[in-house]
Amino acid sequence: MTEKPDHLPEYLARLADEEAARFITDGLLSGKDSVPSIALNQATEPLPESPRRRLRAIRDLIDDAMYIHRDERPTQADAWLAPRLHAILRLTRAEAADSALWNYLALGVAPDFVVWRHLSETAKVVNAQYFKGPHYKQAFARLWWSAELFRNGPDYEPVVIACGNQDMLNTGLRLDVVDHRPTAQAMVRLLQRGVIRTGRDANALAKVVNTAAVTVMYDVIAQDVPRDGDAVRMWIDEGEGGLTVHHRPLPTGPAEEPAPESSVELLANNFAELFADAPVRGRRADEEEGG
């Protein structure tokens, strides 16, 4: 049984890819073995010590997530955990692009969570990419990035909605089109309105949006406001200052200006129309599929 690490240092660290590979053993992937935490922490590179990198707060959050969703399917934890992880782990995008950070979280901080959340019921193993993998796959990177890309300025509500549909999270996150905020918000809005209900709907929508983006530039017809570096900076500085993020209420993100409502509406309507003629495998046949 994979247990939570015996040894937790005070701050987050980096675990390089080649080092991480050593700890991803068959025993771990099948959920039988724990990670040798002392050996692992000898293989890390330190990051600057700062309150926003305190391990204890992150570990507590993960414990809470597993506790709250103990009687549910572990996939349900994503919508709860994503915004809260994002709010506790205050990172710039450049910092979040470092895979060594996510390796450390998955192997050094919460391997038990990765096994709990991602152990395949049929194969009885965890795909190694949940420990060390691309941003749309890795257990923590996918949550952080979905919060980063689906939040609407300070508002995490769209993240909760997006993460409520596993296909939106899994398929949407890996597409470049969601890098444009009004596009991401418009897709969430269709979920919210019930236009998109099933995983297959979400996949079909992603395909429509991704395909039409070759002929129409959403950035021009549905403009966004420029990125606000200061808002993100201040928000991260709050974390540096040791701000506590409460677990129960939905936290508040960086005070960036939300995506212009008119842009989101325009795209939502466009997408709804396109989705209406798109072929969806099994549409109407199997509607309870949501996770």
Partner 1 sequence: MEAGEDFGPWLARQLKLADMTQTELALAVDVTRAAVSAWITGRATPRPEAIERIARALNTDLATVHTRTTDTQAGLPVGWYHRPGHADGGRELGNAAAFAFDADVSVLARETCQNSLDERLTANGQPVRVRYTLHELTGEDLARFREVIQWDDLYPHYEAVREQKQKVGRVVDAGLRDMYERDRLVLLRVDDYNAAGLTGDDYDDGRFAAVVRRQLDSHKSGSTAGGSYGLGKATLWATSRLGLVLINSTLSEPHEGRTERRLVGRLDLPWRRVNGEACAGPAWLGRPDPDSPGAGVARSWWADEETVESLHLTRESAEPGTSFLIVGAHDVASLAEETAVPDGDEGEDDDSIQRMHHRLVRALGKNFWAAMTGGGDRLPLLEASVRTLRNGVVVVPEERVDPTVAQPSRTRALKAFLDGTTVERLTETGQVAAVEVPLSLPVQGGGRTSFGEHRAVLLVTHAEDADGKPNRVVTMRGNRMTVRDTAVPGLPLVVNPFQAVLLAGTAAGPQAPFAAEAEEFLRAAEPPEHNKWGQTEELTLTYSTSAYRRINGLTRETNAAIKTLVARPKKGTKQGGGRLAPKLTIGSGKRRRLSAVSMPVLEELDAQVLEGGAWQVIGEIRIPPGGHEWRLVPVAKFDVRSGPRPTIEWAEVAGVNNCQVVDGVLRFSDGARSAAFRGVTDPTTHAVRASLSGLVVELRTGAGELS
Partner 2 sequence: MKVFPYPRLRGTVSLRVDSARVKAPAQPREQLDSRARSVIERAVALGAAETEDWETAVLTVSATIPSKATDPTGPWSEVVVVAVLTDRTTNTRVTSTLARETEDGRDWCGELQVLRSDIHDRAVLTVQVIATVDGVPGRIVGEAAEDWIVDVRSDVPTREQSFDIKEVGFTKGPRWLQGFSEAPWIVNASGTVPTVHINTDFEGMADVLGAEGRGPEGLVNAMLVSQMAAEVWTAVFHSAIGDLEIEDDGTPLFPHGWQGEVLREMLPDVVPERTLEDALREVHRRRVGATGWTELQPRIQYAAMRRAEVPRVLSETVRGLDKLNREDEA
Does residue 129 touch partner 1 according to CB under 8 A? no
C-alpha 107/C-alpha 8 separation (Å) is: 11
Among 15, 65, 208, 267, binds partner 1 (CB under 8 A): 208
Smallest separation, CB 2 to partner 1 (Å): 32
Instruction: Judge whether 108 and 15 are in contact, CB under 8 Å.
Output: yes
What residues contact 107, with CB distance under 8 A and at least 6 apart? Answer: 15, 20, 23, 24, 35, 40, 131, 132
Question: Which among 2-10, 47-55, 176-184, 250-258 is the span making contact with partner 2, rule CB under 8 A?
Answer: 176-184
Q: Report which of 176, 227, 231, 172 is spatially closest to residue 202, judged by C-alpha positions.
A: 172
Q: Report which of 138, 117, 1 is spatially closest to residue 62, judged by C-alpha positions.
A: 117
Give which of partner 1, partner 2, none residue 221 binds (C-beta under 5 to 8 Å, depending on kind): partner 2
Among 92, 211, 262, 269, binds partner 1 (CB under 8 A): 211
Closer residue to partner 1 (CB): 18 or 176: 176
Q: Strand, helix or coil at 63?
A: helix
Give which of partner 2, partner 1, none residue 63 binds (C-beta under 5 to 8 Å, depending on kind): none
Does residue 225 touch partner 2 according to CB under 8 A? no
Give which of partner 1, partner 2, none residue 278 binds (C-beta under 5 to 8 Å, depending on kind): partner 1
Residues numbered 105-124 forming contacts with partner 1, rule: CB under 8 A: none
What residues contact 249, with CB distance under 8 A and at least 6 apart? Answer: none
Instruction: Judge whether 274 and 208 are in contact, CB under 8 Å.
Output: yes
Which residues would be at the binding site for partner 2 (CB under 8 A)? 16-19, 21-22, 39, 42-43, 92-99, 135, 145, 148-149, 176, 178-180, 214-221, 226-227, 229, 232-233
